[in-house]
């Protein structure tokens, strides 16, 4: 089995930190530093669990591969490069990676343990509006900047349909059981109501949380606009990059048709980002592989061991599958058919979670200890099989 953790981190706004982001300062039971949560903390937990496995001479029935990777946040020597160049060293039956959360409240009581079994994936679309290039003193009705703006406005008012895959359903059911009102009733209506109006209202209620909104549908977000080059020229084209985040199993062609219908203007071309860009090439590759990106089975020794270890550590805390709302570097293993399970292996509060990629990122030392126990128990359990 493979334990994969990235050692690189995102940058910092140093002046906004109350301590040195790269010193690993311990204060009030927390270790502070960039990467404490994402994902040096996880790398530390995975490493310590493997060290204990060796120290305690646990007999191994399969290889345990510990991988500390570079370039997850950005850069070229990432897991895709690694898997392309050194697959013989990391070919595995299943893998553990970053992903789901062990959510705790302020008092330290756990709400749930979520293990991601799939990641959403990112596809860039390009919207290009064409018009006549001319002097801006005599505007024509086909100004491409207006055309594109109207198309984007129609997209802004559009909401993609609900798409709740089984592992999201399991997650929402767990959330309903472990949350304060009114969320449980809203989730119940969303998942089980037969009345379309009630489902629509429940969708609006649940979707007021941006994370939940992203879990139950494909999302559409304009991210880059390009148009014009000087103050007295109407340009002949205007272009927007729109980032789609797709649930594995999505019928991409149907979604594209829908987006074109919403845009509803044949002066606006809607297509995948050009295949001459790295993003465009990657998007095409992902779409051809999309059947491989569907959720990893729960029916593996690794998932069962994780579930069992979590239950033995925290008997009253439910364990659930989870669709990770963003992409992770697990894609390199997933697309080779390896089941991957994602977890940030430490109990964490919503407040601390907001510090990830933010300021004063931290993880509690007690959580690191508990996480190490979770992963160690999991390894021992997997190795016994
Ligand atoms: Zn990460």
Q: How far is the CA of 23 from the centre of ligand 1 (A)?
A: 19
**pLDDT tens digits for range 284-296:** 988 988 777 889 9
**Of the candidate ranges 23-37, 73-87, 164-178, the one whose mean pLDDT is the lowest:** 73-87
Q: How far is the CA of 382 from the centre of ligand 1 (A)?
A: 24
Query: What pTM does this model have?
Result: 0.91
Q: What percent of the chain has pLDDT over 70?
A: 100
Q: How far is the CA of 218 from the centre of ligand 1 (A)?
A: 22
Q: How far is the CA of 74 from the centre of ligand 1 (A)?
A: 11
Q: How far is the CA of 323 from the centre of ligand 1 (A)?
A: 15
Q: How far is the CA of 141 from the centre of ligand 1 (A)?
A: 47
Q: How far is the CA of 215 from the centre of ligand 1 (A)?
A: 18
Q: How far is the CA of 325 from the centre of ligand 1 (A)?
A: 13
SS (H, E, C) the chain: CEEEEECCCCCCCHHHCCCCCCCCEEECCEEECCCCCCCHHHHHHHHHHHHHHHHCCCCCCCCCEEEEECCCCCCCCCHHHHHHHHHHHHCCCCEEEEEEEEEECCCCCEEEEEEEEEECEEEEEEEEEECCCEECCCCCCCCHHHHHHHHHHHHHCCCCCCCCCHHHHHHHHHHHHHCCCCHHHHHHHHHHCCCHHHHHHHHHHHCCCHHHHHHCCCEEEEEEEEECCCCCEECCEEEEEEEEEECCCCCHHHHHHHHHHHHCCCCEEEEECCCCCHHHHHHHHHHHCHHHHCCCCCCCHHHHHHHHHHHHHCCCCCEEEEEECCCCCCHHHHCCCCCEEEEEEEEEEHHHHCCCCCCCCEEEHHHHHHHHHHHHHHHHHHHCC
Q: How far is the CA of 190 from the centre of ligand 1 (A)?
A: 31
Q: Rounded distance, CA 339 to CA 336, Å?
A: 9
Average pLDDT score, the chain: 95
Q: How far is the CA of 354 from the centre of ligand 1 (A)?
A: 14
Q: How far is the CA of 346 from the centre of ligand 1 (A)?
A: 14
- Phi-psi label, residue 374: left if phi above 0, alpha if psi -120 to 50, beta otherwise: alpha
Q: How far is the CA of 12 from the centre of ligand 1 (A)?
A: 15
Q: How far is the CA of 15 from the centre of ligand 1 (A)?
A: 23
Q: How far is the CA of 166 from the centre of ligand 1 (A)?
A: 25
Q: How far is the CA of 360 from the centre of ligand 1 (A)?
A: 16
* Backbone CA torsion sign across 176, 177, 181, 184: positive
Confidence at 385, pLDDT banded by 50, 70, 90: confident
Q: How far is the CA of 139 from the centre of ligand 1 (A)?
A: 48
Q: How far is the CA of 203 from the centre of ligand 1 (A)?
A: 29
Q: How far is the CA of 157 from the centre of ligand 1 (A)?
A: 32
For 213, phi then psi, to 5°, come to -55, -45
Q: How far is the CA of 99 from the centre of ligand 1 (A)?
A: 8
Residue 221 scores a pLDDT above 80? yes
Q: How far is the CA of 366 from the centre of ligand 1 (A)?
A: 21
pLDDT at 384: 84
Q: How far is the CA of 154 from the centre of ligand 1 (A)?
A: 34
**Mean pLDDT, residues 246-272:** 96
Q: How far is the CA of 37 from the centre of ligand 1 (A)?
A: 8
Q: How far is the CA of 119 from the centre of ligand 1 (A)?
A: 13
**pLDDT tens digits for range 54-85:** 999 999 999 999 999 999 988 899 999 999 99
**Of the candidate ranges 23-27, 75-79, 302-306, the one whose mean pLDDT is the lowest:** 75-79
pLDDT at 350: 87
Question: Do the bridges between strand 362-364 and strand 30-32 make them parallel or antiparallel, or are there none, so unpaired?
Answer: antiparallel
Q: How far is the CA of 45 from the centre of ligand 1 (A)?
A: 14
Q: How far is the CA of 310 from the centre of ligand 1 (A)?
A: 22
**pLDDT tens digits for range 118-146:** 999 999 999 999 999 999 999 999 999 99
Q: How far is the CA of 265 from the centre of ligand 1 (A)?
A: 39
């Amino acid at each position: 089995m493979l334990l994969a953790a990235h050692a690189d981190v995102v940058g910092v706004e140093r002046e906004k930190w109350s301590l040195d982001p790269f010193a690993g300062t311990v204060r009030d039971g927390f270790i502070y530093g960039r990467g404490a949560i994402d994902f040096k903390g996880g790398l530390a937990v995975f490493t310590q669990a493997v060290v204990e496995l060796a120290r305690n001479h646990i007999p191994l029935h399969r290889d345990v591969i510990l991988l500390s990777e570079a370039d997850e946040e950005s850069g070229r020597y990432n897991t895709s490069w690694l898997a392309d160049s050194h697959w013989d060293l990391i070919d595995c039956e299943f893998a553990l990676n970053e992903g789901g959360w062990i959510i705790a409240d302020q008092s330290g009581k756990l709400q749930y343990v979520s293990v991601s079994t799939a990641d959403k994936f990112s596809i860039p679309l390009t919207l290009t509006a064409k018009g006549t290039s001319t002097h801006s003193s005599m505007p024509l009705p086909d100004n491409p900047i207006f055309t594109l703006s109207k198309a984007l406005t129609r997209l802004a008012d559009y909401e993609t349909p609900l798409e709740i895959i089984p592992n999201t359903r399991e997650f929402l059911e767990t959330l309903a059981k472990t949350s304060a009102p009114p969320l449980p009733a809203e989730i119940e209506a969303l998942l089980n109501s037969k009345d379309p109006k009630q489902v629509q209202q429940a969708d609006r209620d649940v979707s007021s949380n941006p994370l939940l909104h992203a879990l139950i549908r494909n999302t559409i977000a304009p991210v880059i606009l390009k148009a014009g080059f000087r103050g007295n020229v109407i340009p002949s084209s205007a272009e927007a990059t729109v980032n789609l985040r797709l649930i594995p199993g999505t019928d991409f062609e149907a979604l594209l048709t829908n987006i074109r219908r919403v845009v509803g203007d044949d002066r606006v071309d809607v297509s995948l980002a050009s295949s001459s860009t790295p993003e465009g090439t990657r998007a095409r590759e992902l779409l051809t592989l999309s059947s491989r990106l569907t959720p990893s089975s729960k029916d593996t020794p690794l998932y069962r061991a994780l579930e069992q270890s979590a239950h033995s550590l925290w008997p009253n805390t439910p364990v659930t599958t989870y669709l990770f709302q963003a992409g992770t570097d697990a894609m390199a293993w997933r697309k080779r058919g390896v089941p991957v399970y994602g977890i940030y292996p430490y109990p964490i509060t919503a407040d601390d979670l907001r510090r990830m990629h933010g300021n004063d990122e931290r993880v509690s030392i007690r959580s690191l200890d508990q996480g190490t126990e979770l992963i160690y128990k999991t390894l021992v359990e997997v190795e016994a099989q």
